[in-house]
């Protein structure tokens, strides 16, 4: 597969010289090797560590998120009861953050070095602290799975109810013009088109496509339980 120059693969490979390009499929660029980093945090100090990673970058990057797996055996494996404490997903990929949060970061630095610095390193820094010192991850920890997603999206959209968050995702799956005719999810009793909320939402249209929001809305809808009737 051809890699767009804008991905800055060459910069990534010189920043992480022990990561190599491995035979890749038509749909993914596969990067494998020792990912060495040094990061600093005002409270937790400077830290260097190395993790063996496999990073699969989809053709649709940066609007599609890479999948990162730790393959050096440093993190608990699938059967380990602590797996969730390290934010490892059931498919062994690392839970670097909520998809929307990661896409927001990538929209600002839509390159492979950007992904490494903004999405991978902060996760590995926190994991490394936890491995060295035990206890919880040193940053405000989100709940796992759908609860974690909904909490994070509540922050991102500035909404508290889960129903309104799912409504927002559905609105983002519609064309702007159609979404503006629907009731605003902020509780203002106006159409979206008459509320300032629309400016906030429109910014998200640039970081993911309508089909992505549609799929995401459907997944979160399933987690609403009895609140589904409010939608
Ligand atoms: Zn409103």
Q: How far is the CA of 185 from the centre of ligand 1 (A)?
A: 6
Q: How far is the CA of 164 from the centre of ligand 1 (A)?
A: 11
The predicted pLDDT at position 39 comes to 93
The predicted pLDDT at position 193 comes to 96
Query: Phi then psi for 97, rounded to 5 degrees?
Result: 150, 180
C-alpha to C-alpha distance for 81 and 84, rounded to whole angstroms: 7
43: CB partners within 8 A, 6+ apart: 138
The predicted pLDDT at position 1 comes to 67
Q: How far is the CA of 180 from the centre of ligand 1 (A)?
A: 11
Q: How far is the CA of 84 from the centre of ligand 1 (A)?
A: 36
Q: How far is the CA of 209 from the centre of ligand 1 (A)?
A: 22
HEC per residue, 99-125: HHHHHHHHHHCCCHHHHHHHHHHHHHH
The tokens describing 116, both together, are: 């490494």
Helix (H) or strand (E) holding 35: strand 28-39
C-alpha to C-alpha distance for 6 and 94, rounded to whole angstroms: 25
C-alpha to C-alpha distance for 72 and 94, rounded to whole angstroms: 13
The predicted pLDDT at position 129 comes to 86
Q: Where in the chain is the domain with CATH 3.10.110?
A: 5-133
Nearest to 142 by CA among 188, 104, 95, 209: 95
The predicted pLDDT at position 44 comes to 81
Q: Answer for the pair 217, 208: CB distance below 8 angstroms, yes or no.
A: no
The predicted pLDDT at position 132 comes to 85
Cis peptide before 62 (omega within 30 of 0): yes
Q: What are the average pLDDT values for consecutive 10-residue runs of the chain, which has 231 residues?
A: 89 97 88 96 89 95 93 77 71 85 92 96 89 72 65 88 91 96 93 95 92 90 72 65
Q: Which residues surround ligand 1, an ion (CB under 5 A)?
A: 184, 186, 188, 195, 197
C-alpha to C-alpha distance for 109 and 115, rounded to whole angstroms: 7
Task: Write down the number of H helices and E strands in the chain.
Answer: 9, 4
Beta-strand pair 47-58/67-70: antiparallel
Q: How far is the CA of 176 from the centre of ligand 1 (A)?
A: 15
Q: How far is the CA of 198 from the centre of ligand 1 (A)?
A: 8
The CATH number of 5-133, from 3.10.50, 3.10.110, 1.10.1060, 3.40.50, is 3.10.110
Look-up of token digits 């009895």 = 226
Query: Phi then psi for 133, rounded to 5 degrees?
Result: -110, -5
pTM of the model: 0.85
Q: How far is the CA of 97 from the centre of ligand 1 (A)?
A: 27
**Residues found in the chain:** 231
Q: How far is the CA of 121 from the centre of ligand 1 (A)?
A: 37
Cβ atoms within 10 A of the Cβ of 175, count? 9
């Amino acid at each position: 597969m051809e890699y767009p120059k804008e991905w800055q693969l060459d910069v990534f490979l010189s920043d992480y010289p022990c990561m190599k390009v491995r035979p890749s499929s038509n749909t993914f660029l596969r990067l494998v090797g020792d990912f060495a980093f040094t990061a600093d945090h005002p409270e937790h100090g400077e830290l260097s560590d190395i993790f063996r990673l496999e990073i699969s970058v989809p053709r649709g990057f940066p609007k599609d998120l890479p999948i990162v797996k730790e393959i050096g055996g440093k993190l608990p494996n699938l059967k380990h009861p602590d797996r969730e404490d390290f934010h490892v997903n059931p498919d062994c990929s690392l839970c670097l953050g909520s998809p929307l949060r990661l896409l927001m970061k990538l929209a600002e630095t839509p390159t492979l070095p950007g992904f490494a610095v903004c999405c991978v390193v902060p996760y590995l820094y926190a994991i490394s602290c936890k491995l060295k010192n035990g206890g919880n991850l040193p940053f405000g920890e989100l709940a796992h799975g759908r609860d974690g997603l909904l909490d994070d999206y509540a922050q991102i959209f500035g909404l508290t109810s889960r129903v309104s968050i799912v409504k927002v995702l559905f609105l983002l799956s519609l064309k702007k013009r159609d979404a503006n005719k629907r009731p605003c999810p902020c509780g203002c009793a106006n159409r979206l088109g008459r509320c300032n909320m629309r400016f906030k939402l429109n910014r998200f249209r640039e970081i993911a496509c309508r089909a992505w929001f549609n799929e995401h809305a459907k997944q979160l809808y399933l987690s609403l339980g009895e609140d589904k009737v409010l939608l």
